């Protein structure tokens, strides 16, 4: 993918959301959530800063209660697992393009067959795992299209 400079301001992103966006297909917690996610994904070059709390996607989520996820313990665990598997790449303080974050989770988690290890307890897990098995995900968010075999999850 061409590394164009995004004209949008830096966005915050929870680590596990780099996985969620790869499988987003226009469904979500509410219409506002879907519209916000759709708008965010228009620009894969958008610079993103990893955050430990609510991010740009949580902003429009009905589960965001006064700036904290109502399921914080669970999603914080997803974040910790994603961070642990992606290593230093995600822990850098520097913002990086959305497509780099997505590529990182693709290489370190999806291609390693570890999706269920990260977020198997999520209500959307079956949907995302099935999409990965079928090779049905948002390839435009990656800079290297994984056309090789997809390990089972």
**What is the Cα–Cα distance from 107 to 12, expressed in whole angstroms?**
21
Q: Which is nearer to ligand SF4, 62 or 113 (CB)?
A: 62
Closest CB 137 distance from ligand SF4, rounded Å: 18
Six-digit token string for 25: 């297909």
Report the interhelical angle of 72-86 vs 98-105 (nearest 10°): 80
Strands 47-50 and 96-97 turn out to be antiparallel
Q: Which is nearer to ligand SF4, 74 or 133 (CB)?
A: 74
**What is the Cα–Cα distance from 61 to 135, expressed in whole angstroms?**
27
Q: Which is nearer to ligand SF4, 53 or 146 (CB)?
A: 53
Using CB under 6 A as the binding rule, the residues of this chain from 59 to 98 that contact ligand SF4 are 61, 63-64, 69, 71, 75
Chain residues binding ligand SF4 by CB under 6 A are 14, 54, 57-58, 61, 63-64, 69, 71, 75
């Amino acid at each position: 993918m061409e590394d164009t400079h995004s004209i949008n301001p830096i966005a915050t992103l929870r680590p596990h959301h780099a996985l969620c966006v790869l499988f987003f297909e226009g469904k979500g917690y509410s219409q506002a959530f879907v519209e916000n996610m759709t708008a965010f994904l228009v620009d894969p070059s958008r610079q993103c800063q990893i955050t430990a709390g609510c991010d740009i996607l949580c902003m429009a989520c009905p589960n965001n209660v006064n700036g904290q996820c109502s399921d914080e313990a669970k999603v914080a665990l997803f974040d910790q697992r994603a961070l642990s598997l992606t290593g230093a790449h995600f822990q850098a303080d520097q913002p990086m393009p959305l497509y780099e974050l997505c590529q990182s989770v693709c290489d370190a988690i999806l291609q390693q067959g570890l999706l269920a290890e990260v977020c198997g307890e999520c209500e959307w897990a079956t949907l995302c795992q099935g999409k990965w098995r079928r090779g049905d995900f948002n390839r435009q968010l990656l800079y290297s299209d994984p056309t090789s075999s997809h390990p089972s999850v």
